[in-house]
Amino acid sequence: MALQDVCGFLETLDDISPCTYLPNEMGYMRRTPFEFDRDSAFHFLPPPQQCSRKNRAPTLFSSTFSSLSPHQQPFQLSHGTTTLGFIFQDGVIAAADTRASCKGLICCPISQKIMPIHSHLVVNTSGSGADCMLWERILTREMRLYQLRHRKRLSVNGAAKLLSMMLHPFKGTNVCVAATLCGWDGEETQETLQSCMEIADVKKAVEQDSNVSAISDESAQGSVKMASINEQDEISKDTQALNPTSTFGGRSGPRVCYVCSDGLQLKGEIISVGSGSPYAYAVLDDGWRWGMTVDEAVALAREAVFRATHWDAYSGNNVDLFHITAHGWRRRDREDLKEEYYREREREKKKIKEREKERQKREGDELVEGEGDIYSVHCG
C-alpha cells in the first residue's frame, strides 16, 4: 500500500532471517516476510518474538514437516480472551470480555467480541482479531445466501460445519479463529420474520431506541450495533412453551457449537474459549443446571467472566452478554467489572460481620440458658 511504502513500514521481523518463499493457497509465490527497513524514521520496533507453530500440537511429525511452514509470525497470536456460551431451558447465553490484547499491550479495552450473524445466531470470537472479523463477514454472507436460496435459516450445526469446511484449507497457516456459535434452531415464525431487518435499518433504530442498550463509549471502531426490535412484546411471548423435552435435542432449540481454525468442531452444552476459559469453566461447571431461570443464567455467565478477568491478565475491562431465545437475541448493557471486585470484597466483609454477630448472639443465648439450668437444678 502507498502509505506503507512511503513510511518504509512494512511487515516487520525482529531477527534477520532469509526471506522465505511460501506459496499461498492460490499457488502464487508471495515473498514473506518483507525486509525490515531500520533506517526509516517511522520504523516500528516490534516486540521480541519467538516463532512457534501454535496451531499444531508438538508431535514426531513436526520435525519432518517443519520445512513446510518456515513463516515467521510478526507477533504472537494467542487467544487472549474469555468467551463463553451455554444453553439452558430458556435459550442460550453468550458472554465475553472486551479486552483485545497484543502480547503485553491492551490494544483496545472496549472491543466487541460477540457479533450477531442473524436474528437467531451470535458468534463469540477469539483468536486473531482481524481473522475473526473477516470470517464473521464471510459466514454472515454465506448464511444469508443460504437463507435466500432455501428460504429457511441454516441450523447452528450447519453453520458450524460450513465454517469448519471453509477454514479447513487454511489449516497450518496462521489463520487463528476460535468461534463459538450460539443460537436457536427453529422454524420461521411470523415474529422472527418481522425481526429480521436489514443491518443498516437496525443500526438507525438502535441509535433512536432508548429501550435498547447502547455502548456508552464513543469510539465504536465501526462495529455494528444491533438489537432485536419489539423486545417488550417478545418478552411476554417467552413464557410460552419452551418445553425442554421437545426443544433440547429435537429439531428446534438452543444450540452452542465451537469451531476452531485447526479443525476442531464440537457441539455441547457449555463452551468456553480463551486464556481465561479454565477459570470460567470452573464457575460454569459448578453452577449450570438445565432448569435455570434467565436471571440465574445471566448471573452465572457474568460471574464466570468476572472470575476469569480477575485471574487472567489477557481478559478484562467490560463484560458483554447476549441472550438468545426462540424470538431472537437480546443484548444486555455492557458492564464494567472493575468495581465488581471491590463490591464483592465489601459484601464478603459484611457477611463476615453478620456471621460474627450471629455467633456471638448464639453464644450469649447458650450462656443464658446454661445459667437457667444451674438455677433450676439448685431449686429442683
Partner 1 sequence: MEYLIGIQGPDFVLVAADNVAASSIIQMKHDYDKMFKLSEKILLLCVGEAGDTVQFAEYIQKNVQLYKMRNGYELSPAAAANFTRKNLADYLRSRTPYHVNLLLAGYDEADGPGLYYMDYLSALAKAPFAAHGYGAFLTLSILDRYYRPDLTREEAVDLLKKCLEELNKRFILNLPSFTVRLIDKDGIHDMEKLPVGPK
Binding of partner 1 by 67 (CB under 8 A): no
Looking at residue 46, its amino acid is P
Closest CA to 40 of 75, 12, 79, 19: 12
User: Which listed residue (47, 70, 250, 263) binds partner 1 by CB under 8 A?
Assistant: 263
User: Which listed residue (82, 228, 277, 318) binds partner 1 by CB under 8 A?
Assistant: 277
Q: What is the DSSP letter of 280?
A: H
Number of residues that bind partner 1 (CB under 8 A): 22
Contact letters (x/-) for partner 1, 120-159, by CB under 8 A?
A: ----------------------------------------
Looking at residue 340, its amino acid is E
Binding of partner 1 by 281 (CB under 8 A): yes
Binding of partner 1 by 52 (CB under 8 A): no
- Reported in sequence order, the residue ranges of the chain that DSSP labels E, i.e. its strands, are 20-23, 29-32, 83-88, 91-97, 100-102, 105-108, 114-118, 121-127, 177-185, 253-260, 265-268, 270-273, 318-325, 328-336
Q: Which stretch binds partner 1 (CB under 8 A): 29-37, 270-278, 314-322, 342-350?
A: 270-278
Binding of partner 1 by 262 (CB under 8 A): yes
Beta-sheet pairing, 177-185 with 121-127: antiparallel
Closest CA to 286 of 268, 267, 299: 299
Q: Which stretch binds partner 1 (CB under 8 A): 57-65, 243-251, 314-322, 354-362?
A: 57-65
User: Which listed residue (21, 65, 290, 341) binds partner 1 by CB under 8 A?
Assistant: 65
Closest CA to 226 of 140, 129, 314: 140
Catalytic residues, by residue number, are 81
CB of 246 to partner 1, least distance (A): 21
Task: Point out which residues pair with 217 in neighbouring strands.
Answer: none
Closest CA to 181 of 266, 257, 260: 257
CB of 154 to partner 1, least distance (A): 18
Q: What are phi and psi of 250, to 5 degrees?
A: -95, -160
CB of 61 to partner 1, least distance (A): 6
Binding of partner 1 by 258 (CB under 8 A): yes
Which of residues 174 and 230 has its CB atom nearest to partner 1 in the complex? Answer: 174
By CB under 8 A, what part of segment 160-199 binds partner 1?
164, 168, 171-172
Q: Do 47 and 25 touch, CB atoms closer than 8 A?
A: no
Q: Is the peptide bond before 33 cis (omega within 30 degrees of 0)?
A: yes
Binding of partner 1 by 70 (CB under 8 A): no
Binding of partner 1 by 66 (CB under 8 A): no
CB of 127 to partner 1, least distance (A): 12
Binding of partner 1 by 68 (CB under 8 A): yes
Q: What is the C-alpha to C-alpha distance for residues 69 and 106, in angstroms, rounded to an integer?
A: 29
CB of 100 to partner 1, least distance (A): 21
Reading the block at residue 201, the C-alpha cell is 435499518
Q: Do 99 and 317 touch, CB atoms closer than 8 A?
A: yes
CB of 308 to partner 1, least distance (A): 13
- Contacting positions for partner 1 (CB under 8 A): 56-57, 59, 61, 65, 68, 164, 168, 171-172, 258, 260, 262-266, 268, 271, 277-278, 281
